[in-house]
Chain A
């Protein structure tokens, strides 16, 4: 089965500095990878996805992610962090199990804290 790992429970960064939230994946075949963000007391919001094509994917709110096949990573990045970026970030991969169930498998989440 496919899986994703988010090795950091929390990432702290100063406002204005670049940020990176890490995600590694384990898949058979070509991965379909996603990033979602969850603000307090809210549902998940889609940020970006990688299906195929350019390894650098640009998404909402100035976020981007780089797909690296050799390192099996899909790290989320932003050149200049904002305090309002503070939230819980989830990496996800599409999985089709042997029974044919098509679903998203989410990582455990990384809490991003941006300090003024």
Chain B
């Protein structure tokens, strides 16, 4: 069974640009969550999508957005990039919504560097 796939693995962007990251969950999983990992703030929850709808949202500005397609693949978009957006962005898939009984399966992440 293929794991969670995130593309691209590495990305370098300039301040002010926008970026789109992609995540393909494990086959059959309908929930996709996104996390930002930085040395200063650690792992922080961005949002969760389930059945093409955003179900949970963390405390990030509106520059961070996402969507989910009918095949459960998800994209995350960051507009007007700032230096502080440099981070490892992790995607996690799960069979069901929320974090009640099932563990999340994480991808390898996309390392975004903003210069």
Contact surface of A with B, Cβ cutoff 8 Å? 32, 34, 36, 41-46, 49, 51, 90, 94, 100-109
The CA of A43 and the CA of B107, in the complex, are separated in Å by 5
The CA of A108 and the CA of B40, in the complex, are separated in Å by 9
B4 surroundings in chain A (CB, below 8 A): 43
Q: A90-B43, A101-B56, A103-B45 are in contact. Are A43 and B99 (CB under 8 A)?
A: no
The CA of A100 and the CA of B109, in the complex, are separated in Å by 27
- The smallest beta-carbon distance between B110 and chain A, in angstroms, is 10
Known: A103-B48, A103-B58. 4 other contacts (CB 8 A): A43-B108, A102-B56, A104-B104, A106-B43
B45 surroundings in chain A (CB, below 8 A): 101, 103-105
Whether A44 pairs with B90 at a CB distance below 8 angstroms is yes
The CA of A104 and the CA of B43, in the complex, are separated in Å by 9
Whether B106 pairs with A102 at a CB distance below 8 angstroms is no
- Of the four ranges (under 10, 10 to 19, 20 to 34, 35 or more), the interface on chain B belongs to 20 to 34
6 tightest A-B CB contacts, nearest first: A43-B106, A103-B45, A106-B43, A102-B98, A46-B103, A44-B106
- The smallest beta-carbon distance between A82 and chain B, in angstroms, is 22
- The smallest beta-carbon distance between B35 and chain A, in angstroms, is 8
B58 surroundings in chain A (CB, below 8 A): 101, 103
Whether B99 pairs with A102 at a CB distance below 8 angstroms is yes
Contact surface of B with A, Cβ cutoff 8 Å? 4, 6, 33, 42-43, 45, 48, 55-58, 90, 92, 97-101, 103-109
Whether A46 pairs with B105 at a CB distance below 8 angstroms is yes
A109 surroundings in chain B (CB, below 8 A): 42
A-B contact pairs, 7 of them (CB 8 A): A32-B100, A44-B43, A94-B98, A101-B57, A102-B48, A103-B48, A106-B42
The CA of A26 and the CA of B98, in the complex, are separated in Å by 20
The CA of A32 and the CA of B57, in the complex, are separated in Å by 19
A103 surroundings in chain B (CB, below 8 A): 33, 45, 48, 56, 58, 99
A45 surroundings in chain B (CB, below 8 A): 106
Q: A102-B56, A102-B98, A103-B48 are in contact. Are A46 and B104 (CB under 8 A)?
A: yes
